[in-house]
Structure 1
Amino acid sequence: MGASAAHAETTLVSSTPADGEEVIASPVQIVAVFSAAVPNNAFMQAVCNGQPAPIGVVTVGADGVSLIAPLTAALPIGTCNVSYSVPQADGNVATGGFSFEVLDPSSVDPGDTSAADSTEGPVDVPPVSGPLGLFRMIAYAALAALFGGAALIVWIWPEGFDDSATHRYFKITWSVALLSSYVVVALQASLTSGKSVTQTLVPLISWGELFKEASGLAVLARLFLVMGCLIFAFHPDRLVDPQSKNLSLGLSGAAMATFAFTRASLDFSILGTAASLVHNLSIALWFGGLIFLAQTVLIAPGGDDLMTAIRHFSRRSLLIISVTVISGVVHLYQLDGGAILTSRHGRLVILKVFGVVAMVYIGGATRQFISRGLAKKRQLDGRTAAKLRRFVLTEAAFGVFVLALTSWSVATLPDKAPPLGSDRTDYAFVSDRSGGGFDVQLHMTPALVGRNAVRIDVYSPGSGLTDLTVQFNPPTNNVASVTLNVPIDGAGSAKLPFSEGVPLNTPGLWTIIVTGNGPDGPLPSVTYTVSVLANTSEAPVNEDVNATTSTIAGGVSSPATVVVPLGETTVPSASGVQPVTATVVTTTP
């Protein structure tokens, strides 16, 4: 597909990769430079081998005349078709596209570097995913140490609140937890929004995308909860104050509990999340308790209070370990089912199990030593403290190994988990597949007056599809029709979410017509009739065709072209959902 534009005022000047270029590795971003200023509501999307490319949020470049589409994963080998839509000052929209090919590196002559001139190396994972996993693990360990230490002071060793080692311990663990949690927020905001880490490091300004999903809300809540833990981090005496100890322990426990929502969507599994929540809290009590013992209780000889603390932790750790194992098994079943050996996530969990078994074994040996060797002792001598500390640190070291595997496994997809962004919407209207050479299926909800989420699935043609449109025609002549231009070039799906949905402004029988062009010319149109009911929960819709279409974009008069996000696209039966954009056009009949 050659580079082209629909209007002379705004034309494509250049692109990276260039039109027709062959590259031997996936670029990290796609850039299109135009002849005139590009508004913020312009969009660009790419389809590679009939599937939507993993593009992040498309932004206007600093020069004001370029569109930048960051890639959140590597492009597949094959041809990628890029299309764009740039609204102009005169109300028209410049559209066009360009294409390039990603070559198989094994088929390229190593001495031929011409195809790699415009690339910056392969991108197997989002560029921040590695640091995100590292800082997530650091935040997990620091918060576990903070919560576990606070729990030991409250429940087992209240005498330790005034110890200098305790003061130092809480200051360090809180500081590390706060810094790592802040970095996790910035990195996840960068991964979600497509903005640079430099931008998302600025507090709050670039964190808006995190509010749209449960995992984003979880990292934000964690950051603010860790901030709240300041009330005891520098004043451990508040952990034994009846008026503040429950709040102090609750803040650190709630911060730890947010890790249960790390991979959650807004429609997460209640049982799986509950098991994960219990699992995370029990791990924190186990691992955090070990770290606290090693860094405070066992650093020097002590009296009866230290011996009491050690014995109580030894007895309670058996219950904590049991809860950890049981909740972990339930959570594992929720994620992988019987595919433990066949999924990458399951295999990582098996390695994690070996680490947990090692912790249990060493913990058992430690408890045996305490029950036999310390049963009659009332004082903790230096030699015994050093020996116990070695046991505890060894057990904690395996805990770090387990946490590292946990952080790694979060980046993989469990067998029973739906692909990221999978569409689990309960649609009010689902059409039959049309079949034949133009095999499509339409979904719409809630089929009420107002905004409606729409999904269109294309099963054939597999490729070569152009100008796919979905036209919504009202039952009366005094209401504007709506046309949805869908950027799919073959088998795949596109979804317009409810928040930016198609505005149907009157009740009655709406006629929906799906049209498109195939490789050999126009395809036979597909027509559906949908009964749209009045929406009694909303204010009446103004049906005056001369009114501004404020339901789409304030201040734009009908007829108008309005660029809105098309939330998701995917191949109907396979790959994960990727964000793209589309154009909604309202026209006066």
Structure 2
Amino acid sequence: MRRLAVMFAALLVVLVGVASPAQAHAVVVSTNPPQGGTVASAPSEVTMTFSESISPVKDKIRVTAPDGSRADKGETSVDGAVLRIPLRDDLPIGTYLVSYRVISADSHPVPGGFTFNIGAPSATVPTPTTDDSSTSRPIAVSIGVAKYVGYAGLLLAVGAAMVLLLLWPARMSRRGPRRALAAGFGLVVLSTLGQFVLQAPYVNGVPLNRTTADDLAGVLDSQFGAVMLARIGLLAVAAIVLSGALRRIVSHGEPARSDLVILGILFAGAASTWPLAGHSAASPVPAVTVVIDTVHIAAMAVWLGGLAMLTLFLLRPKTATERELTAIMPVWSRWATLSVSALLLAGVVQALIEIGTLKALVTTTYGWLILAKVALVVVILGFAYLARSYVYNAPAGNVLRWAVRVELGIAAVIIGVSATLTQTTPARVAADQPSTVQQTQNYFTTSVKAGLYTLQVDVDPAKTGQNVVHLYAYTPEGKPLKVVEWAASAALPTAGIEPVTMPLLPLTDNHASGSINLPTPGDWQMKFTLRTTEVDQESVTVTVPVG
């Protein structure tokens, strides 16, 4: 037990070393207004579309106006993957900052922000008044460690229960495996409670000491909280049924068939809680991936849990006799073969769904971790084959003991990789994830300030041929300005093209539109004259690059 504890402790150190705050598993596909874009008039809301369903984090979504005040009003709403943020009605021109923090379908937080302009950009970008939305490294590492502990506890609990119920020699004391069983249950419960508590600061982006009861209540109301509660409930029922089954073995020599059936159902239900709180719940085909991942985890628990029991108890010198091992090891070998087959099949299907393409396999962190896990599995299967070859020849030999111990050591590394994978963006998402939200404009836009007004100029498409020009006039304070008369012309001095009058049509008090043919590429000089009263007027010139 001391050797096993040292081995798992070493793996925890490795896990802490490589762990980092989990990356966003849902990405922003589009925004309206567009990121970095300029709109002529204030919109009624900001909409964001993500790559998967999300839920908002309370008090972590806001729009900041150029003067630092809140531009949003009321409650945000979510419709699947679309987030809507309602805005105030009296918004001035300038640059606005959208700050958001949402929870993706796989329970990971997605923080971020972007800016857009109403009328014209501000001289400075507003700063958010919310707390830092990043995920702290200590919280991320603690979650990774908690998941690792949960996997380890699951292996011990399943391995000990399986061996005690079906393989343990009647003459041997059950004290050791019972302790392992209790330790396994305890580690899973500790991991589950730890993840539940850590989820609150994780999704809210705050330190653990600033987590409130409302934050924990929010986790309890989420899908993640429901899954964690279901896991605790299934463990409690399993502990009661298992305790009764073990008592019946002592009194009758074998467990009741009904106990085995109930425990199998409880085991499948508990195993499904891992994918329901992870990547599988957010995959393109969640019904398939949840089932596949459940099979993967269950097969892993049976195989590696059985290895742990062999190493800790049955294969130790002066424990099970040669005759007992001759009866036990072939049975265990068949179970291991079935488990490994199920594990490999489920793992391949799961990897194909989560990776998607060969490029994603070799260009993403998730893909490299999968490759590392495959390499470790190949090595462990080699030692498993060596151990199996000694099952029938020398079941109590030193070679068998050595091979099984090496298998268990590599298995501990695989668990560490698996825990890291749960904190890493799936390759199918990371490969397609842009560094920023891609919002391209196929027109020219700018703002120019004059003494009487600020004028926003949009030219679409700013290419040779027919172009549409939109003009928006604002007061120096950013309010819509009533224009009495509009006038415009366009010239290309470098090509000898003299100013050509551009007819304009007033659409509103501060908005006019016109159309002009620009036959030659170059830097066109567009002059706009706005008369704001019977006596006040002013002209500005804008250089428009035309391709």
Class of the TM-score when normalised by the shorter of the 2 chains:
0.5 to 0.7
- Contact 1:157-1:305 within 8 A present in 2 as well: no
Note the alpha carbon deviations across 1:552-583, whole angstroms, 9 max, x for none.
xxxxxxxxxxxxxxxxxxxxxxxxxxxxxxxx
Matched, 1:128 2:139: yes
Matched, 1:256 2:271: yes
Shift of 1:212: 3.2
Alignment root-mean-square deviation, CA? 5.1
Distance change >3 Å, CA 343–CA 313, structure 1 → 2: same
Contact persistence 1:337–1:416 (CA under 8 A) = yes
Instruction: From the superposition, tell whether residues 352 and 195 of structure 1 become closer, same or farther in structure 2 (CA, over 3 Å).
Output: same
Q: Does 1:369 align with 2:390?
A: yes
2:97–2:125 Cα contact (<8 Å) kept: no
Q: Could you list the per-position Cα deviations for residues 135-167 of structure 1 after superposition, in whole angstroms to 9, with x for gaps in the alignment? A: 101101211221233233344447489522122
1:99 to 126, 150, 173: 126
Q: Does 1:391 align with 2:403?
A: yes
The answer for the alignment partner of 1:335 in structure 2 is 354
* Counterpart in the other structure of 1:149: 160
SS at match of 2:363: coil
The 2-side partners of 1:161 and 1:271 are apart by 43
Identify the match of residue 231 of structure 1 among 233, 237, 240.
240
* Alignment match, 2:313: 296
Q: Please state if 1:347 is matched with 2:374.
A: no
Secondary structure at 1:301 match in 2 = coil
Letter in 2 for 1:185: F
Mapping 1:253-292, distance limit 5 Å: 253-261=268-276, 262-265=278-281, 269-292=286-309
Check if 1:55 corresponds to 2:67. Answer: no
Q: Of 149, 164, 168, which residue of structure 1 is paired with 2:179? A: 168
Tell me how far apart the structure 2 counterparts of residues 282 and 344 of structure 1 sit (CA, whole Å).
25
The letter for the 1-side match of 2:366 is: H
Contact 1:80–1:99 (8 Å) recurs in 2: no
Alpha-carbon distance in 1 for matches of 2:138, 2:475: 37
SS in 2 for 1:372: coil
Residues 224 and 420 (structure 1), Cα distance of their counterparts in 2 relative to 1, 3 Å cut: farther
Match of 2:261 among 237, 246, 250: 246
- 1:402-425 per-residue CA deviation (whole Å, 9 max, x = no partner) reads 11111111222223359999xxxx
Relative to structure 1, is the Cα distance of residues 224 and 98 closer, same or farther in structure 2, using a 3 angstrom cutoff? farther
Q: Distance in 2 between matches of 1:50 and 1:161?
A: 73
- Could you tell me whether the CA contact under 8 Å between 2:364 and 2:430 is conserved in 1? no
Residues in 2 aligned to 1:223 and 1:193: alpha-carbon distance in whole angstroms:
24
Alignment check: 8 A CA contact 1:275 1:331 kept: yes
Whether the 8 Å CA contact 2:149–2:188 is kept in 1: the answer is yes
Q: 1:237, CA displacement in angstroms?
A: 3.4
Offset of 1:75 from its aligned partner? 6.3
1:403 aligned onto 2:415: yes
Q: Is the 8 A contact 1:147 1:253 kept in 2?
A: no
Task: Note closer, same or farther for the CA distance 1:200–1:223 as it changes in structure 2 (3 Å cut).
Answer: farther
CA distance in structure 1 between the aligned counterparts of 2:265 and 2:148, rounded to whole angstroms: 21
Matches within 5 A, 1:496-507: none
Paired with 1:334 and 1:198, the residues of 2 have a C-alpha distance of: 38
Code of the residue aligned with 2:235 in structure 1: it is V
Per-residue CA deviation, residues 286-306 of structure 1 (Å, 9 max, x unaligned), is 111111211222233323334
Whole-angstrom distance in 1 between the partners of 2:392 and 2:176: 26
Q: SS of the residue aligned with 1:174?
A: helix
Distance between the aligned counterparts of 2:270 and 2:387, measured in 1? 29
By how many angstroms is 1:249 displaced? 4.1
Contact 2:61 / 2:99 at 8 angstroms: preserved in 1?
A: no
Number of residue pairs aligned between Structure 1 and Structure 2:
350
Aligned residue identity for 1:328: G
Summarize deviations over 1:74-111 as a string: whole Å, max 9, x none: 868xx9799xxxxxxxxxxxxxx98249xxxxxxxxxx
Amino acid at match of 1:284: A
Aligned partners of 1:324, 1:199: CA distance in 2, in Å? 41
Match of 1:325 among 344, 350, 370: 344
> 1:55 & 1:287 partners in 2: Cα distance?
38
Q: CA deviation at 1:256?
A: 2.3
The match for 1:25 is none
Give the Cα–Cα distance (whole angstroms) in 2 for the partners of residues 279 and 144 of structure 1: 13
> Once the two structures are superposed, what CA deviation does each residue of 1:288-341 show, in whole Å capped at 9, x if it has no partner?
111121122223332333432222112321222121111101110011022211
Q: What does residue 502 of structure 1 align with?
A: none
Looking at structure 1, the residues matched to 446 and 416 of structure 2 have their Cα atoms a distance apart, in angstroms, of: 42
CA distance in 1, matches of 2:201, 2:230: 17
Superimposed CA distance per residue, residues 338-374 of structure 1 (whole angstroms, 9 cap, x where no aligned partner): 2211222111100111111111011111111222223
Check conservation: 1:189, 1:210, Cα contact below 8 A: no
What letter corresponds to residue 257 of structure 1 in structure 2?
Answer: S
In 2, Cα distance between the equivalents of 1:182 and 1:331? Answer: 27
Q: Which amino acid aligns with 1:219?
A: M
Larger Rg: 2
Q: Secondary structure at the match of 2:126?
A: strand
Amino acid at match of 2:424: T
Whether the 8 Å CA contact 1:314–1:367 is kept in 2: the answer is yes
Shift of 1:176: 1.6
Question: 1:263: how far off?
Answer: 2.1
Moved more, 360-369 or 267-276: 267-276
CA 51–282 in structure 1, closer or farther in 2 if over 3 Å, else same: farther
- Alignment TM-score, normalising by the size of structure 2: 0.52
Change in CA separation of 1:329 and 1:231 when aligned onto 2, cut-off 3 Å: same
Cα 1:198–1:361, aligned 2, differ >3 Å: closer, same or farther? same
